[in-house]
Chain A
Amino acid sequence: MFTKILVAIDGSDISKAAFYKALDMAKLFKAELHTIYVVESGMMSPGPVDTTWELIYQRLEQEGSTTMANLVEEAEKKGVTVTSHLEAGHAGDIIIKTGAAIGCDLIVMGSLGKSKLDRLLLGSVSSHVVNYAKTNVLIVKK
């Protein structure tokens, strides 16, 4: 079965649901569990970094580390060790790259992130990953 699972989180409710699914699976399969949060910096135009960008970036980075720390703690209570990765860049690309770098055989993620548009059944990051990842992908919808 799956031996190394990477779950992508962004602090949204659906990403938490994806995390719990991944946690259950890791426990059942005795698989290694990794979690990743990507600070989406791809949308910033290149150029000198001013204080506003700096603040936005710090805010996101902090959200990432807090969210991951909480989930990792919960996982440890259930007896599963989690390795967390905090990265920055184009979220879809970074998730795929990290997955390949650690050699995982399953990527788990929510169908949507923080964008809650109902008509969007599959968000852009999830769509990117399911299209371009070379490994298996589980899209969690609820």
Chain B
Amino acid sequence: MFSKILVAVDGSDISKIAFHRALDLAKQFNAELHTVSIVESGAMSPGTYDSNKKMISQHTEKTCRDYLTQLVEEAKQNDVMITTHIDVGHAGNAIIDMSSSLKCDLIVMGSRGKGVIDRLILGSVSSHVVNNAKISVLVIKN
């Protein structure tokens, strides 16, 4: 079965559900659990690094760290070993790269993140990961 699970979290409701599913799976399979959050910097054009850009990325990173603290707490209560990772870049690529450097055998993620447009049944990051990852992917919809 699965022995090392990577769950991608972005603070959205659906990623929280994905996290709980992954936590349950890790517990049942006795697997190692890793979470990854990506500060999406792919959206910024290359150029001078000014104070606005700095503020945006610092703010995102801080929100991210606070959120991860909660998740670690929950995992501890469930007696699951958890490691959190924060990375910067194109979210889809960064999730796949992280999964291969950690040698995970399963990626768990929500079907979409903070974009909540209904007709988008599968968001761009989830779509990228399920299409390009070399390992099994569990897409959580509810």
**Chain A interfacial positions (CB closer than 8 Å to B):** 1, 21, 24-25, 28-29, 105, 121-122, 127, 130-142
Mostly, the A contact residues are mixed
Mostly, the B contact residues are mixed
Is the pair B140, A121 in contact by a Cβ cutoff of 8 Å? no
14 further A-B pairs in the complex, CB-CB below 8 A; given A134-B141, A136-B140: A28-B1, A29-B28, A131-B121, A132-B121, A134-B121, A136-B138, A138-B137, A139-B137, A139-B139, A141-B133, A141-B137, A142-B134, A142-B135, A142-B136
Task: Decide if B130 is an interface residue (CB 8 Å cutoff).
Answer: yes
Residues of A within 8 A of B130 (CB): 122, 130, 139
Q: Which of B75-105 contact A (CB under 8 A)?
A: none
Residues of A within 8 A of B64 (CB): none
Residues of B within 8 A of A137 (CB): 138-139, 141
Residues of A within 8 A of B125 (CB): none
Is the pair B142, A134 in contact by a Cβ cutoff of 8 Å? yes
Residues of A within 8 A of B142 (CB): 105, 134-136
